[in-house]
Amino acid sequence: MHTRTATAAAAVLALTLAGCTTDDTPAVDGTPSTAKYTASSTASALTPGQRASAAASAGLPPLPDPAARSAYIADLTAIDPDIVHDRPDAMVYRGLNQCRSIKDGQSHERLLATTNYRFTSPDKPNGFGTDTAARILAVVKKHLCPDF
């Protein structure tokens, strides 16, 4: 049963993130990503309700409204401008993925590790360190998933 649930969630997550295409492939091995996210025609075919439903099914909160998005990006920039590094859309999606880790009930230490892994920059390919990861995690919780 757990396998079917995980498979269904993965499929829904793929639909949710279908709105992200990149002009180059983001790295998953900890090396910096220079991906730029843009809307794809697949995502355009989904209604906002379908995207929200897919996100909820995958355990992700909905995309933030413009005010919450602006406040989130501003708070990340206040921590260190290199966090956003001209990639605000990527930071929103990384934050939403971090919300999934929060919802999954990962330990605080694990959340700090995944935050440090997810939030990197060309100047900080191994993350910003534990102290900064804790601050980033607080910003993610505050703006993207306060109910998790």
Residue 58's pLDDT is 75
> Judging by beta carbons within 10 Å of its beta carbon (0-12, 13-18, 19+), is residue 75 exposed, middle or buried?
middle
Give the 3-state secondary structure of residue 107.
Answer: coil
Specify whether the CB–CB gap between 100 and 58 falls below 8 A: yes
In this structure, which amino acid lies at residue 15? Answer: L
Structure confidence by residue, pLDDT tens digits, 6-33: 433 444 444 344 444 333 333 333 434 4
C-alpha to C-alpha distance for 148 and 97, rounded to whole angstroms: 12
Residue type, 72: Y
Of 3-7, 85-89, 125-129, where does mean pLDDT reach its minimum?
3-7
Q: What is the pLDDT confidence band of residue 44, given thresholds at 50, 70 and 90?
A: low
Q: What residue segments make up the domains of the chain, in order of their start?
A: 2-143
Share of the chain above pLDDT 90, in %: 57
CA trace torsion 47, 50, 56, 62 (10° rounding)? 0
What pLDDT digit, counting tens, does each position of 83-124 carry?
999 999 999 999 999 999 999 999 999 999 999 999 999 999
pLDDT at residue 60, as a whole number? 81
pLDDT one-digit tens code per residue, 69-86:
999 999 999 999 999 999
Flag whether pLDDT at 137 surpasses 50.
yes
